[in-house]
Structures are given as structure tokens and as C-alpha cells.
Chains A and B, each alone.
Chain A
Amino acid sequence: MASLHVNGIVYPVDVPDDAPLLWVIREKLGLTGTKYGCGIAQCGSCTVHIDGKPERSCQITVREVQGKRITTIEGIPDTHPVKKAWIEDDVPQCGYCHPGQIMSAVALLKEKPSPTDADIDAAMSGNLCRCGTYQRIRRAIHRAAQAKTGGKR
């Protein structure tokens, strides 16, 4: 039987090897923070981290993540500067895409602690927000970067 290592917990899962990770996370593990938006890696709502890298879970099979560490929105602590910045700037509207947005933003800041606007454009353009919260996402990423680097830019 396959197993999934999600947010520090190992879950045995009785699913076909080629089942998409997104749906196994949602339907078998009950972790519904990770969202379905398009199924073809166009919207980023299903973004999770696999060994620390942001990936579209709708495009990844259970087989491909055997032995890898998966982090979902539920695995990002509430004290994380990105989550705090998202609350400070009241970023979400409907909120549906934001777990994916936050996963992409957390990964961006790990890679680039003080991202420029161009870095944000590059890292975040795969995450759609139909409510149009992009300006606040940008602001919150800068805020989180400042919090992480102690205000040094």
C-alpha cells in the first residue's frame, strides 16, 4: 500500500498509484484546505510543497511522491510571517485560491527572502485569483519579507 508523508504525519492510503495527489489529500486524508480549481496546472489553487518546492498537486500522482515530504496549507504554522501578513492586509476576499497563494508565497520567501516586484510577478503569476486580490498579495509578501528579515531589505 502507498503512503503519504503529509505535514509530518505518515498516512497509509489505499488508492491506485496514479491517483492525483490533490484528490487523495482532499478526499482520503480530509485535508480540504488544498483546493481544486482547474485540474491542468493553470490556476495554482492546489499548490502544495513537495520536499519544500511548490508543486501543483493536481498534476502529481501518489507514486511520484512516495518517500517525499508533502506540506499543505494546514502544515504552515499560524505564526508564519506569510499567514500573519495575509491577515494584517486582509488579503482574501472569497478566499478560495488563498491556500494556494500562500503556499506559493511561502516558497518564494524561502528562495528569495527579499523579493522584488518582478520576483513576485514571476513566482505568483501561476496562481489565479478571480476576486482580484493581487495588489494585496503583493503588499502582504513584502510585509512578510520585512518581518522575516527584521525590516532589512
Chain B
Amino acid sequence: MNTVMVINRRRFLKTAALFGGGLILGVALPGGKADSQPAGEKTSFVPNAFLRIGSDDSVTIIINKSEMGQGVYTSLPMLVAEELEADWSTIRIEPAPVHPAYNHAEWGGMQGTGGSTSVKSEWTRLRTAGAAARIMLIRAAADTWKVKPESCRAEQGHVLHPPTRRRISYGALAEKAAKLSPPTTIPLKPDNQLKLLGTSVKRLDTPAKVNGSAVFGIDAGGKDILIALVAHPPVFGGKVKSLSADTARNTQGVKDVVVLDSGVAVVADSFWAAERGRDALEIVWDEGPMAAFETATQRKEYAALAQTPGAVARHEGDAEKALKQAARSIHAEYEVPYLAHATMEPLNCVVELRDDRCDIWVGTQFQTADRDAAARVSGLKPEQVSVHTMFLGCGFGRRANPASDFVVEAVKIAKAVKKPIRMIWTREDDTKAGYYRPMWYDRISAGIDTSGKPVAWRHTIVGQSIMEGTPFAASIRNGVDETSVEGAHDIPYAIPHVHVDLHSPKTGVPVLWWRSVGHSHTAFVVESFLDELAHAAGQDPYAYRLALLKSHPRHRAVLKRAAEQAGWGRPLPKNHFHGIAVHASFGSYVAQVAEVSVKPDGTVRVHKVFCAVDCGKTVNPDTIAAQMEGAIVFGLSATLHGAITFKQGRVEQSNFHDYPVLRMAEMPEVTVSIIKSTEAPGGIGEPGVPPVAPAVCNAVFAATGKRIRRLPIRTEELKRT
């Protein structure tokens, strides 16, 4: 039976042990007892930072990525197990501590999970980790039997010597293998010998997630730990002007009130006491420069900015001239709102701070940044801070904050109260206190020739930069933050004259990557506008796309597959209409056909979504299907429901009643088809999101003749009665 380490019984490898010492240190949990090596596991072979083989035949794979639903606690062990020739039923996994050995293979000096990079960035490293161990185990067996290593092979957690029919388990070889030096050349299996990769292996974390034993950040720290809630300023950038905390302090169960830069924390012996204490705070806020901030004003400012030239993201040919000379030109303006990540598990962080060390239990995507931030706040050295990565109740980018906002806040509280604390953001805090997907305004024009073919494309984008002000700001080139224009400056369609430019206004609203980042808005704009062009040209939107994608076989293949699956062009049930969209992001290609009907009152019902994906070589097809299904739901929530808006500086939404997300009764039937591919692996967590909004809105146009240029869809715009 596979096991996922239950995290309140976690262990950490001492750094030195990562490379062969085999020493395991226990750590103490707040309110818990010192942990120790689980009974039965004797570690004796630690060939690298990602793998331990016990003399009891246990195979423990250390995972440097955060499990937030995307399945890395299964897909990454598959990479190791494939080359190791492990017995899959013996695989157990353990979240990695923060250590340079676990840094992101592509991002350089930090450990983190994001950008749909987990499988593609670990594809070679983890397979190599498994292969190296297999080679050493075979050598250990060959030495034992006094035979040539070439005459042995590995299978199902054993080394075999076929000529003499001998067989020995990895566990029995572990001690001997540990004494060998690692191999210098480590060949990986050719594709045609892969057995595990490309098969739908059951997720290792499902049993714990079904019986309630999976430990999320909010579950860490044990019973009776102090609970901290924070009253944040009602306006971003606000500060406490005056505070009367007597009533709060006198509330039963309240232990302390702490003033922070980011608000006022109430620390109590229970959540409800902390909540009552927080309600009893009398705070006068200095609301700061954003006190009058309004979405309505901001929309006008963005619209005005979009009429002026911005920083150039792409310039090919002469789009201005070509637009003027075109047989016909088409113009449109699109906009999308700020969006909250609304992770199912609200933000939280457990901290135990002592004189010489700090332990943090948190669902995070940015371990190194969080550790370093905790060190800065606590005055400790980074190596005195341990980040214990818990299961994440969704991430979507919110738990990958370069500013480590919620970790910093929690460590500050722990520092003030000098006791272990569990800081919890309520759903209202989570909705109102940022960070958000930026609001975007797009002005777009195209010229088509007499045959309807586009000859010019001019696209101006307005929206906040995510990278600005972060340690990643150096990636901004010539005023262009790639995450603002991705999916817009690299449109695949064959258009000779293209100009894309960008305005990155500063507003004071904290923004962050949100599942699919820039693509979440550029695909909506590009794929909706392309539909407008097809309509202007009097052509079928599917055929129109195919004709413009002659040099993009992977786009074409997913388009064709989605169209085939949907029966594009064939009759649909009465009042049902199709819309189509295709978009490449994070190294993968996704096309979707949405089948939609619009009621006379303007309500949009999405009945079916047919999704085709080419993500290169696959690891776990069922996980790919699950990520597409989930991405479609995520995209539909934004298409039909989501908006964060401001009035008098205040976020107008607070919880799921006014920031709704898709519910069961709205769920379309989703069909996912995966293109067989020998290309390098692409991402899978995000690429399913971008095509959803345009596919649905294009279907709404087919149904009603009304072009949706602003999300979320407003039923009043579609009302026919």
C-alpha cells in the first residue's frame, strides 16, 4: 500500500544526510511530541536528494514541488520509479525541506511550484535520479554474485541475474549500494521502453484526501494552539491611526492584540474567540492614497490609456499603414476585471518561533522566498528557519507570492506573542485583502483583405505589471512585462503586419499570477476577436482558424480533434450553439468547443465542452484529463461569475455569495482528448484555462449575435424579453 507521509508525523533529513549520511533527525511539532523514524524503515541507501531506499524495501521519493491538486505527488514519483524499476506499490513520498538541492530546475536559486513547470522541469532530473540508483543497485548485486553488471537487470524492486535465475530485492542491496560511488554516465530509457510513464496510475494522495487524514496547512499545529486573526485595513495601503482594544482584550479567550504594518492581530485560544475579539476592535484607519479608488474611474482611465501608444511588445511590418489600406477594418475594445484566486482553503500559516529556530507549517508554492522572509522578520538566519510544506487547499498562484505576505504576517504575530500560533485568514479576509489577477483593458484592430484574410493586427493592452516591484522585475524588458502580453504578442496566426503594445499603470492594488497568468486575458481577447474577423469575412470560425495556422501543426491538430469530438458543423439540439477557441500556453496546446444555450432572460448555460490537448509526452493521462476538467471549471467561473471591484477604496466582494464560483448544477459535460505526441513534455496545470472564455463567448455570439467584450458575462446584455 502506498503511503503519503502524514505530515504531522513528518521527518526531515539533516542537510548532510541528503548526500549519503543516512542520518535522520526528528523535529518537534508545536503541541506534538518529537518525531522519529517510522517503525520498520531503516534507511541505508540515499543515492541523491530525491530518493531513499530502506533495507526494508521501502522506496521513499522526496518531492520538491507543492501538491495543490495538480497531481505532482504522483506524477513526480512516476518519473523516478520508471527509471528505478521500482515496485510501484512500495513507493512512499515525502515533501522536501528547503534546500538548494531542491531548487527549481529552471528558475535558478529558488524552490517553488508554478508556471505549469513541475513535470517538464523535472522530466530529466528525476528520471536521472532513479536511473542512477538503479545502476548502483545492479552493481551491488553483480558484486554480490560476482557476475558482470551487464548480465543483470532490474525489475519490480529487484535485481535479477537471468542466467542463474537469481533475484535479490533492492532493500537487501541497499547497504552495499550505499558504499558505491555514483555512476558517471546515466543513460535514460528510450521512449519505447517506458512502462509507467504514459499510463493512468492512481493518485497516491487520494486515500488520505478521502478519509480526512490529509493534513493541510490549516490543520497543522495540533489542538489548542493559539489562533490569530488579523483586521486588515479596509483600503489597500491603509494604516492604523488609532486603536482601542480594551473590549477586544476583555473578550473571553483573547490572549493578545498586536498592531502590525498590515493591520491588527487578535490572538486567542480559539477561532471564535479571536473572531469575537477582532469584531470588538475599535480601529480608526488612515485610509491612505487609495481611499477614493473606484473601479468605474479606473475603467475610464484604462480606456483612455488604450488610445495612446505603449511600450512595444511586437512590431512586424507596418500595421498602421496596412490597417488604413485594408479593404475593411474592424475595431473592438475588451475588458476583464480583477479576480481573486479564492483558493478553497483560505490563507493560513502556523509558526513556532524560538530563540534559535523558526518552524513554519504552510501550504506554499514559494518555499525559499517564504523561508527567507521569515528569517528577515524573525532576525534568524535562513538556515534556522524550516518550512514544512503541507498539502495546499488549491494554489492557483496565490501561494506563490514573492512578498510572502501571509507568512510575514504570521511570523510577526508569533514574534510578538512569543508562542506558537496558527494565523487564519477568514474567507472575507481572503477575498478582500488581495492579491488579484490584474484588471485588463484591450483595444484591438484588424484589417482584412477582399478575401476576408487578416492583413493587419494592432493590439494595445492596459493593465498592471505583476513582475514590477518583485525580485523578478529584471525580466521586464523595454517596459514590457512578458506576463502581461503572453498569448498576445506571440499570436500564431499568419498575419503580415502586427503591432502589440502595452501600458502598465500603477494603481496600488496588489496583483499576482492567477492560473494561466497573462493568457487568462489575452486568449479571451485574441480568440474572441479572431471570431469577429471570421464573422466579418463571412467564414466559418473553425475553417478560418485552420487556414491561418498552416505553419502551426500542433494548433491545427488540437483544433481538428476538438472540432471532430464536438461534431462541429453538424446539427445540434434546438437552441444549442457551438463556439471554438485554441490557445498555446506553458508549452502545451489546447482547443475547446463549447456547446451553449442562452435563455430569454440572458442566462448562459454551458452544456458541453470538448477539449483537445497536446502537452507533448504524457506522464499520467488521467491527471491530464482531470486538470483539463478543472481548468474548464476555473475558466467558466471567470467567464460567468467572477469580478473584484472597488468602491470608495473598498473591495465590494467578501465571500462566495458575492464572488460566486461554478457550482455542480452549472457543470457542463466535459470530454477530454489527448493528442499522442513525441514532443517534449509541456505544462498541464494552466493551459486548459485560456480557451474557455472565448469558446463560450463565441458560442454566445452564435446563439444571440451579441458579442461579449467584457467579462464576466452580464445576463442583462443578453436579455431578449
Contact = CB atoms under 8 A, between A and B. Distances in A.
A96 B345 contact: yes
B656 interface: yes
Report which residue of B223, B657, B667 has the largest number of chain A beta carbons within 10 angstroms of its beta carbon: B667
Contact of B212 (A23, A33, A38): A33
Contacts of B16: none
A40 B346 CA distance: 14
Interface stretch (B318-326, B596-604, B627-635): B627-635
Contacts of A124: 664
Interface in A1-47: 15-16, 19-20, 23, 26-40, 42-43, 45
B257 interface: no
B210 A86 contact: yes
Contacts of A134: 633, 662-664, 667
A95 B219 contact: no
A133 B630 contact: yes
Nearest to B201: A90
Contacts, number: 183
Nearest to B392: A94
Given A19-B272, A121-B664, A136-B629, A94 B393 contact: yes
Nearest to A97: B344
Contact of A23 (B271, B632, B655, B656): B271
Interface stretch (B33-41, B66-74, B115-123, B298-306): B66-74
A50 B16 CA distance: 51
A72 B344 contact: no
Given A74-B211, A90-B202, A102-B210, A132 B662 contact: yes
B395 to A, nearest CB: 8
A34 to B, nearest CB: 7
B548 interface: no
B663 A95 contact: no
Interface residues of A, number: 60
A129 interface: yes
A135 B669 contact: yes
User: What's the interface size class on B, roughly?
Assistant: 35 or more
A138 B666 CA distance: 12
Contact of A38 (B216, B252, B394, B427): B427
Nearest to B343: A130
Contacts of B392: 94
A58 to B, nearest CB: 10
Contacts of A29: 223
Nearest to A40: B655
A137 to B, nearest CB: 7
Contact of B69 (A32, A73, A87, A95): A95
A32 B390 CA distance: 14
B670 interface: yes
B391 A94 contact: yes
Interface string B394-429: 111000000000000000000000000000101110
Contact of B667 (A78, A87, A97, A138): A138
B207 interface: yes
Contacts of B205: 92, 95
B237 to A, nearest CB: 26
Nearest to B269: A27
A132 B664 contact: no
B286 to A, nearest CB: 28
Contact of A35 (B208, B218, B663, B664): B218
Interface string B195-234: 0000000110111111111111011001110010000000
Contact of B626 (A19, A27, A90): A90
Contact of A132 (B211, B622, B633): B633
B655 A87 contact: no
B274 to A, nearest CB: 10
A73 B664 CA distance: 21
Contacts of B212: 31-34, 72-74, 99
Contacts of B656: 38, 40, 42-43, 128
Given A30-B222, A37-B427, A94-B392, A45 B210 contact: no
Nearest to B627: A93
A36 B424 contact: yes
B664 A27 contact: no
B219 A32 contact: yes
A94 B344 contact: yes
A60 interface: no
Contact of A37 (B67, B223, B344, B667): B344
Contact of B634 (A15, A90, A132): A132
Contact of B270 (A15, A31, A35): A15
B120 to A, nearest CB: 19
Contacts of A133: 626, 629-630
B222 to A, nearest CB: 7
Nearest to A15: B270
B594 to A, nearest CB: 15
B631 A132 contact: yes
Contacts of B223: 27-30
A87 B202 contact: yes
Nearest to A82: B210
A14 to B, nearest CB: 11
A72 B212 CA distance: 9
B665 interface: yes
Contacts of A146: none
A135 B670 contact: yes
Interface in B647-694: 655-657, 661-665, 667, 669-670
Nearest to B202: A90
A131 B424 contact: no
B342 interface: yes
Contact of A127 (B208, B227, B393, B664): B664
A92 B665 contact: no
A16 B252 contact: yes
A88 B151 CA distance: 40
A86 B223 CA distance: 28
A122 B664 CA distance: 8
Nearest to B342: A130
Contacts of B67: 94
Contacts of B633: 129, 131-132, 134
B126 to A, nearest CB: 21
Given A94-B68, A94-B391, A96-B394, 10 more contacts: A19-B272, A39-B655, A87-B202, A90-B202, A90-B203, A95-B391, A98-B209, A98-B210, A131-B344, A134-B664
- For the complex of A and B, the 3 pairs showing the least CB-CB separation, nearest first, are A33-B212, A132-B633, A95-B209
25 contacts: A23-B271, A27-B227, A29-B223, A30-B223, A32-B218, A34-B212, A36-B424, A37-B427, A72-B212, A73-B212, A74-B211, A74-B213, A78-B211, A83-B210, A86-B206, A87-B202, A87-B207, A92-B205, A94-B393, A96-B394, A129-B633, A130-B342, A135-B669, A136-B629, A138-B667
Interface of A: 15-16, 19-20, 23, 26-40, 42-43, 45, 72-74, 76, 78, 83, 86-87, 90-99, 102, 120-122, 124-138
Interface of B: 67-71, 202-203, 205-216, 218-219, 222-224, 227, 252, 270-272, 342-346, 391-396, 424, 426-428, 622, 626-627, 629-634, 655-657, 661-665, 667, 669-670
